[in-house]
């Protein structure tokens, strides 16, 4: 019988890539989600509203899986960061899903966090020992939810990882993000309004993110990876300006498509955030398949009208 995984929050933007990576690796994929319509290769379990402990138990009654992956999160869009919802989802729900893993007989639990959990700094690459960001509610709640989930799993003897994702791009991104902003502007014949673009970020194509999560879940379940916090990124820094210029080139729009300096930076946004991913690579052997150019080319080809 193939290994099985329950992916919570599978209808979010990373759900399709994570579900496909597990399916491609031979796992049976169950997708716990609020909206109908399962990702390719997954069987949906729809739980529209109440994700209380009791509702989660009822929705998964009789189910046994080898791994649980949590993609749930509130506040990914900076305009939706109400404090009550951040606490309820990023802390409360994440901890409940960590506890759920043991009830389902899982050997591994993986929770997706954020690179923004680290305090802004100028380090060439940030490793898992770096200081946490204690100023931003989104970062604070993501980190606390990860800690509680890890603790719940440790108490139950489930190997667990809190994965801090530094940056992503891909065809399933939400419209407010950088790549969709550029693609939509090109399609509509207007200029994309961007920041000055000198901040350095670490971007990873969504397919590579899915494959990294699947590899880590397998390594945890097999006892090859220790529980704890793991960084996930490409390990390569690129400026926002460079990312945007490359996307414009691949679209055939050229630099005139981009209006740099039209918007400002978000409060608290650091100048540099690049992942040290040596811990993840040592535990799993994973490396990304796509560099920035090839990943952007794939994503743009799928996003074009």
* Mean pLDDT, the chain, whole residue set: 94
Say yes or no to pLDDT of 12 above 60. Answer: yes
305: buried, middle or exposed (CB in 10 Å: 19+, 13-18, 0-12)? exposed
In a domain, 180, yes or no: no
pLDDT digits (tens, 9 = 90+) for 39-67: 777 899 999 888 999 999 999 999 999 99
pLDDT in tens, 184-223: 999 999 999 999 999 999 999 999 999 999 999 999 999 9
- How far the first Cα of the chain sits from its last, in Å, is 41
**Containing domain of residue 77, as a range?**
4-170+203-236+274-288
Residue 159 lies in a domain: yes
48 burial (CB, 10 Å; 0-12 / 13-18 / 19+) is exposed
The dihedral through the CA atoms of 118, 119, 125, 130 has a sign that is negative
Residue 106 scores a pLDDT above 70 = yes
Structural domain count, the chain: 1
Q: Residues of the chain with pLDDT > 90: what percent?
A: 86
At 118-158, the pLDDT tens digits run: 999 989 999 999 999 999 999 999 999 999 999 999 999 99
In the predicted model, what is the mean pLDDT of residues 104-130?
A: 96
> Who's near 163: CB < 8 A, 6+ residues apart?
110, 111, 112, 113, 212, 213, 216, 229, 230, 231, 232, 280
Backbone dihedral angles phi then psi of residue 152, each to the nearest 5 degrees: -60, -40
Average pLDDT over residues 279-288: 98
Residue 83 lies in a domain: yes
Which residue reads 């799928």 in tokens? 302
Q: Answer yes or no: is 14 within a domain.
A: yes
Dump strand ranges (E) for the chain: 4-8, 28-33, 42-46, 67-70, 108-114, 159-165, 168-169, 192-193, 200-201, 204-205, 228-232, 238-239, 258-259, 272-273
The reply to whether 265 falls in a domain is no
In a domain, residue 252? The reply is no
Residue 90 contacts residue 74 (beta carbons within 8 Å): yes
Which CATH number goes with the domain that contains 98?
3.40.50.720
Residue 1 has pLDDT above 60, yes or no: no
Candidates 141, 1, 144; CA nearest to 66 is 1
- Residues 37 and 136: their CA atoms lie apart, in Å, by 34
Q: What integer pLDDT is reported at residue 2 of this predicted model?
A: 63
Is 264 inside any structural domain?
no
Helix, coil or strand: residue 138: helix
Q: How many CB atoms lie within 10 A of CB 149?
A: 30
Q: Return the DSSP state at 218.
A: H
In a domain, 258, yes or no: no
């Amino acid at each position: 019988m193939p290994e099985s995984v329950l992916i919570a929050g599978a209808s979010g933007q990373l759900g399709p890539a994570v579900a496909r990576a597990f399916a491609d690796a031979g796992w049976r994929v169950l997708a716990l989600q609020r909206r109908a319509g399962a990702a390719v290769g997954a069987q949906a379990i729809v739980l529209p509203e109440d994700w209380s402990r009791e509702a989660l138990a009822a929705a998964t009654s009789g189910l046994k899986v080898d791994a649980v992956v949590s993609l749930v999160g509130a506040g990914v869009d900076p305009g939706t960061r109400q404090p009550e919802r951040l606490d309820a989802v990023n802390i409360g729900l994440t901890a409940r899903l960590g506890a759920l893993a043991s009830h389902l007989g899982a050997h591994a639990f993986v929770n997706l966090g954020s690179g923004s959990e680290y305090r802004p700094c100028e380090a060439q690459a940030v490793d898992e020992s770096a200081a946490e960001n204690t100023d931003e509610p989104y970062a604070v709640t993501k980190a606390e939810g990860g800690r509680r989930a890890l603790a719940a799993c440790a108490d139950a003897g489930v190997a667990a990882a809190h994965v801090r994702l530094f940056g992503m791009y891909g065809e399933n991104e939400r419209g407010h993000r950088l790549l969709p902003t550029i693609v939509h502007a090109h399609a509509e014949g207007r200029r994309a309004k961007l920041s000055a673009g000198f901040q350095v970020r670490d971007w990873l194509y969504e397919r590579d993110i899915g494959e990294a999560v699947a590899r880590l879940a397998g390594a945890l379940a097999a006892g090859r990876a220790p529980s704890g916090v793991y960084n996930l990124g490409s390990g390569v820094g690129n400026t926002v300006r460079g990312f945007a210029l490359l996307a414009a080139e691949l679209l055939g729009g050229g630099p005139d498509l981009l209006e740099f300096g039209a918007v400002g930076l978000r409060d608290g946004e650091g100048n540099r955030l690049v992942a040290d991913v040596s811990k993840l690579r040592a535990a799993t052997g994973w490396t990304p398949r796509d560099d920035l150019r090839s990943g952007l080319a794939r994503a743009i080809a799928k996003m074009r009208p």
